[in-house]
Amino acid sequence: MKKIVIHQANQMITMRGASEQPKIGEAMSDLGIIENGSLAMEGGKIVAIGTKEEVERFIVQNWGNEDVEEVNALGKIVLPGFIDPHTHLVFAGSREYELEMRLNGASYLEILQAGGGILASTRMTRAASEAALVEDTWSRLNRFLLQGVTTVEAKSGYGLTLEDELKQLRAAKQLAQKHPLDVVSTFMGAHAVPTEYKEDPEAYIKLVIEEMMPKVAAENLAEFCDVFCEAGVFSVEQSERILEAGKKHGLIPKVHADEIKPLGGAELAAKVGAVSADHLLQASDEGIQAMAEAGVVAVLLPGTAFYLMAPYARARDMIAAGVPVALSTDRNPGSSPTESLQLIMNLACLNMKMTPAEVLTATTINAAHAIGRAKEVGSLEVGKAADVIIMDAPNYAMLQYNFGTNFVESVLKNGEFVVK
């Protein structure tokens, strides 16, 4: 089994102590930094972490003279692999023409209602084979890795027929098995009402609940169930029925909540016991309070506000209310075509006033909580996966002081170099 030790990082950013509960309030600023820190890994797991002296002692006592790969991180920072807890990763085609439509004044929902938007990606995804979806998504995953992202969530929702939803989720499963990145799947049959059900949305909801969910569960294709709770898409009442039905199949609820219109998606997330409510640009004070009380993670997606030229979510109010905040790209072909999680962090910092420390908590341990992976990943602690980034920056504040810069020098996934 390969043994690797990373020596003497300027700042070893551990994020320790929050594997059970996400970080809230001031704890979001406590990064558990070890100065001049070292990290030892073996068999894909972290086996020692601490000061240079502590880790050297561990090596002498446990590894003796065995073969060890030594990596010098002097002058650099080392941190847990980033986690992106909200993407629509698997799709075919692109929608560059919609950007000009929006620049000319068309709104995102108008484009969707006219059969474009999600429905355009649905037509392209239906026409693609499972193999083609795997191939297209593979390069997106590679770009995520170059950003330091080692775990990503992926939603279905561009199939919108039984077979095409299964095809998308099977493609995600193949990627989870073959690509070094971890891919965690969410069933989102309720992403839009497909054109052929335009006149009878209830019949589509029936299809989602009675045909799709049992198959998704039987094939073990998803852990979570998400719904686009939005004006003109799925109402709060319809979303609740869909999420409650998902729970019966063991699918944990997530909600696309209060993205464009303030509908009460945040309140719904708290009511159904969702692990996260995402977007939240228009979340109400009551919704934020309800999320804090229910412990729902807010997954904020500032790339979408940026790209749709919309007001940003109220991150400061959420943090003040005690809501655990996570960040994500929302990578998708319509409202956020990017894999640059580091740019998302810049947007969160400058446009939502999250501090450089808070954005790191939001892209590591809190993001892990948003997809139920906090016991495995999201912090550098003994026993956890050796998912590690080395960045060529002397301290973490540099990441937000600069913008649009990729500081990643190397990435390890399960103790193996995947970017070097």
Chain residues that interact with Fe ion, rule: CB under 5 A: 330
- Which residues does 267 contact at the CB level (< 8 Å), separation at least 6? 236, 284, 286, 287, 290
Residue number, 186 or 346, with CB nearest to ligand NIG: 186
In angstroms, the CA 148 to CA 324 distance is 22
325: left (phi over 0), alpha (psi -120 to 50) or beta: beta
Q: Computed over its alpha carbons, how large is the radius of gyration of the chain?
A: 21
CB of 256 to Fe ion, least distance (A): 6
Residue number, 24 or 233, with CB nearest to ligand NIG: 233
CB of 414 to ligand NIG, least distance (A): 29
CB of 349 to Fe ion, least distance (A): 21
Residue number, 84 or 330, with CB nearest to ligand NIG: 330
Residue number, 267 or 330, with CB nearest to Fe ion: 330
SS3 5: strand
Residue number, 99 or 320, with CB nearest to ligand NIG: 99
CB of 70 to ligand NIG, least distance (A): 43
Backbone angles phi, psi at 253, to 5 degrees: -70, 145
- The binder of 228, among Fe ion, ligand NIG, none, by C-beta within 5 to 8 A per type, is ligand NIG
CB of 395 to Fe ion, least distance (A): 32
CB of 283 to ligand NIG, least distance (A): 15
In angstroms, the CA 375 to CA 373 distance is 6
Q: Based on the number of CB atoms within 10 Å of its own CB, is 383 exposed (0-12), middle (13-18) or buried (19 or more)?
A: exposed
Q: Residues interacting with ligand NIG, by CB under 6 A?
A: 88, 117-118, 121, 228, 256, 259, 304, 330, 332-335
345: left (phi over 0), alpha (psi -120 to 50) or beta: alpha
Question: Does 7 carry a binding-site annotation?
Answer: no
What is the β-pairing status of strands 3-13 and 45-51?
unpaired
Question: Does 334 carry a binding-site annotation?
Answer: yes
Q: Based on the number of CB atoms within 10 Å of its own CB, is 390 exposed (0-12), middle (13-18) or buried (19 or more)?
A: buried
> DSSP string covering 46-99, please?
EEEEEEHHHHHHHHHHHTTT---EEEE-TT-EEEEPEEE--------S--HHHH
Backbone angles phi, psi at 385, to 5 degrees: -60, 140
Beta bridge partners, 407, equal none
CB of 212 to Fe ion, least distance (A): 18
Residue number, 58 or 228, with CB nearest to ligand NIG: 228
Stated as kind and residue range, the H or E segment containing 36 is strand 33-42
Question: Does 335 carry a binding-site annotation?
Answer: yes
Residue number, 278 or 387, with CB nearest to ligand NIG: 278
- The binder of 37, among Fe ion, ligand NIG, none, by C-beta within 5 to 8 A per type, is none
Question: Does 249 carry a binding-site annotation?
Answer: no
Question: Does 191 carry a binding-site annotation?
Answer: yes
Question: Does 279 carry a binding-site annotation?
Answer: no
Residue number, 32 or 334, with CB nearest to Fe ion: 334
User: Which residue number is nearest to ligand NIG in terms of Cβ?
Assistant: 334
In angstroms, the CA 187 to CA 185 distance is 7
* Interior angle at CA 221, CA 181 and CA 154, nearest 5: 45
CB of 121 to ligand NIG, least distance (A): 5
In the annotated binding site, the residues are 86, 88, 95, 158, 191, 256, 259, 330, 332, 334-335
In the annotated binding site for 4-imidazolone-5-propanoate, the residues are 95, 158, 191, 259, 335
In the annotated binding site for Fe(3+), the residues are 86, 88, 256, 330
In the annotated binding site for N-formimidoyl-L-glutamate, the residues are 158, 332, 334
In the annotated binding site for Zn(2+), the residues are 86, 88, 256, 330
